[in-house]
Amino acid sequence: EIVLTQSPGTLSLSPGERATLSCRASQSVSNNYVDWYQQKPGQTPRLLIYLASNRATGIPDRFSGSGSGTDFTLTISRLEPEDFAVYYCQQLANSPWTFGQGTQVE
Amino acid sequence: QVQLVESGGGLVKPGGSLRLSCAASGFAFSDYFMAWARQAPGKGLEWVSYITGPGTSTDYADSVKGRFTISRDNAKNSLYLQLNSLRAEDSAVYYCVRANYAFDYWGQGTLVTVSS
């Protein structure tokens, strides 16, 4: 099983600042099958980034993803008030598909 | 537009069963892997199961293997999850998701509560 470890657990920032979220895999994720989701309280998760670096439809360009192998990063270039949420990474390369434990951006 | 609408959740006693359904619309259902994910109250996301487009292959998280069964009816654009031998730790919101390189569309979720 590929274990995804997200860091930090909580990121305390202000609007306008840059957020850098890390997702580290316990083994290499083939074909960069890493995705990132945003979840706000009481809402369904929303896909932000797929295949490590591709923005999903309708996602603002302040969100970007990068990485390969075992280290992946989600960057929010300038935080907007609506970006304060929990962010999860996920891998679909190997079964069982797994999620990281989440990073809260507050 | 893509829509996924779950139903079938509710309160069930430990050891009991439930069948969740997901009605899909707005896309060629049979062309896509579909999956179920869940989220316990206040906890993170957990993948539960997936099924291929034709329904010929399935897989499960270890935590539900042997107790849950995923299936689909492509003629009805519907996805199902049969939950048997339910435990308290299965209590969660269950999401129907379309799996296309990622979980690109999510239903609104249906709540399953396992309690005596």
Q: For A70-101, write each residue's pLDDT tens digit.
A: 999 999 999 999 999 999 999 999 999 999 99
Copy the structure tokens of residue A102. 């989440």
Q: What is the mean pLDDT of residues A29-53?
A: 96
pLDDT at position B54 is 95
pLDDT at position A37 is 98
Of residues B44, B47, B95, nearest to A97 (C-beta): B47
User: With a cut of 70, which residues of chain B have pLDDT below it?
Assistant: none
Question: Could you tell me if B9 lies within 8 Å of chain A, comparing CB atoms?
Answer: no
pLDDT at position A14 is 96
| CB environment A63-73: b (16+ within 10 A), e (fewer) | bbbebeebebb
pLDDT at position B5 is 98
Which residue reads 């997901």 in tokens?
Answer: B22
3-state secondary structure of A68: strand
Q: Which residues pair with A87 in a beta bridge?
A: A38, A103
Copy the structure tokens of residue A48. 């932000």
Indicate which of A46, A47, A54 best probes the interface with B, i.e. most B CBs within 10 Å of its own CB: A47
Q: Mind telling me how many Å the CA of B8 is from chain A's nearest CA? A: 18
pLDDT at position B101 is 87
Residues A100, A73 contacting (CB under 8 angstroms) = no
pLDDT at position B85 is 97
Q: Mind telling me how many Å the CA of A55 is from chain B's nearest CA? A: 11
> Is residue A10 over pLDDT 90?
yes
Copy the structure tokens of residue B98. 């379309």
pLDDT grade for A47, boundaries at 50, 70 and 90: very high
Q: Mind telling me how many Å the CA of B45 is from chain A's nearest CA? A: 6
